[in-house]
Amino acid sequence: MFGFPDRPLGVALIGTGFMGKCHALAWRNVAAVFGGPHHRLEVLSDATQEAADIFAQQFGFQRATAHWQEAIADPAVDVVSITAPNGLHRPMAEAALLAGKHVWLEKPMALTLQDAEAMASLASDHPGQVTMLGYNYLRSPAFQAARKMIEDGEIGIPLAFRGVYDEDYSADPTIPWSWRMTHQGGGLGALGDLGCHLVSQMLALMGPVTELIAQTQIAVPTRPSSDGPKVVENEDSAMALLRFASGAHGSFATSRVARGRKCRLQWEVHGSLGTIVFDQENMNELWIHRAGEAGFVRHLTGPEQPDFAAFCPAPGHNFGFNEQKIVEARDLLVAIAGAPKKGPDFAQGLEIERVIHAMAKSNGDRMLLA
């Protein structure tokens, strides 16, 4: 039986945006939900000292710095949460590994496949340090329950996967240009920001991909900026057809310009004995069809599903985005204490990167991954 680290760990957080706050909430609440020691929020780093000071006080960190290298090097720090822009993921993660720290890194893993390969290689040279990538959608009770149903054969042999992840945060062509729309700052576009989440779930449900063919699209070629129109370098949307090692096949689509879609991370698995359907916009529901039934049955999340009861004893009460992150923090901590890693660690993250970069590269050509 694995538990938590037997002493409080010192935490450094780099970045204070949407996911930085999410990490801070997880670190503050993981012990209250799951037990174990309350961990020390030691150092917060942001781009300026003023911002770092403000957020250190708000998030409850003891010290603040505008220099992320100082946060990583701090001897009181055992684990580093990295929520900085994509272009800084590799240097920050590698510095943390070389400093002897555990690493909790937000997705996407890196700008390029070569960067991800180098990071996975370095992590393999430091087996005593735990790495985890921030694929928190893998932690929802509904997803965990669906994954177990498939593993237990409740819908028979998986035959096909259909998935989409659509949002509309870039649908308006007047939205200003940003670093997210460049190869140097953002890496991939919709594939790196959204599609990688769908791939993480797809691989967990269906196993490895052996081949694919894909197309990408830049729907808004230029965007306004204070310096005039600037070119959008990475994809606004992507679609792919896939073949899995099992012989099953699949379809994949992702877009950051899908009007009206807010977090449509939706997938269905067709099995020989049934079908499972999930949609993140209705993340507290699973729809299940079994052979012999007339249609689908709606299943609400509840304490019988993994990790739900740790937050609430009553079925039908909604689970949320930040709760998923607290479960992820728990998984990181028990792995540090010696439990098997639930991942994705950097090695598993590299497999996700191989799929999305193959999609970006395909341009209608068949790509072999195994």
* Digit-coded pLDDT (tens) for 298-352: 999 999 999 999 999 999 999 999 999 999 999 999 999 999 989 899 999 999 9
pLDDT for residue 204 is more than 60: yes
pLDDT computed for residue 121 by the predictor: 98
**Same domain? 82 vs 170:** no
pLDDT computed for residue 156 by the predictor: 98
Asked if residue 2 is part of any domain, the answer here is no
Residue-wise pLDDT for 214-232, tens only, equals: 999 999 999 999 999 999 9
**Same domain? 299 vs 262:** yes
**Same domain? 142 vs 286:** yes
Local confidence band at 96 (pLDDT 50, 70, 90 cut-offs)? very high
Domain boundary residue, one of 100, 135, 170: 135
Domain coverage including residue 55? 10-135
Could you give the CA distance from residue 366 to residue 319 in angstroms, rounded to a whole number?
40
**Same domain? 80 vs 149:** no
- CATH code assigned at 107: 3.40.50.720
Asked if residue 72 is part of any domain, the answer here is yes
**Same domain? 98 vs 247:** no
pLDDT for residue 1 is more than 60: no
In the chain, % helix, strand, coil (3-state, to 5) comes to 35, 25, 40
**Same domain? 258 vs 318:** yes
pLDDT for residue 2 is more than 80: no
Asked if residue 278 is part of any domain, the answer here is yes
- How does the average pLDDT of the chain come out, rounded? 97
Residue-wise pLDDT for 265-284, tens only, equals: 999 999 999 999 999 999 99
Give the pair of three-digit tokens for residue 176.
Answer: 């200003």
pLDDT for residue 254 is more than 90: yes
- CATH code assigned at 282: 3.30.360.10
**Same domain? 238 vs 316:** yes
Asked if residue 4 is part of any domain, the answer here is no
Asked if residue 167 is part of any domain, the answer here is yes
**Same domain? 127 vs 174:** no
Could you give the CA distance from residue 287 to residue 282 in angstroms, rounded to a whole number?
11
Asked if residue 312 is part of any domain, the answer here is yes
pLDDT computed for residue 222 by the predictor: 98
**Same domain? 55 vs 202:** no
**Same domain? 229 vs 342:** yes
Residue-wise pLDDT for 63-80, tens only, equals: 999 999 999 999 999 999
Domain boundary residue, one of 135, 150, 182: 135
Asked if residue 5 is part of any domain, the answer here is no
292, amino acid identity: G
Local confidence band at 370 (pLDDT 50, 70, 90 cut-offs)? confident
Asked if residue 1 is part of any domain, the answer here is no
Going by C-alpha positions, the residue among 279, 321, 318, 316 that lies closest to residue 296 is: 279
Could you give the CA distance from residue 29 to residue 332 in angstroms, rounded to a whole number?
14
Tokens 């808004």 belong to residue: 220
Q: Are strands 237-244 and 209-217 parallel, antiparallel or unpaired?
A: antiparallel
Contacts of 264 (CB under 8 A, 6+ apart): 164, 165, 166, 167, 258, 279, 280, 281
Could you give the CA distance from residue 201 to residue 352 in angstroms, rounded to a whole number?
10
Provide the number of structural domains found in the chain: 2
**What's the pTM?**
0.97
Local confidence band at 179 (pLDDT 50, 70, 90 cut-offs)? very high
**Same domain? 250 vs 181:** yes
3-class SS string, 153-195: CCCCCEEEEEEEEECCCCCCCCCCCCHHHCCCCCCCCHHHHHH
**Same domain? 158 vs 192:** yes
Domain boundary residue, one of 135, 167, 195: 135
Determine contact, residues 300/316, Cβ cutoff 8 Å. Answer: yes
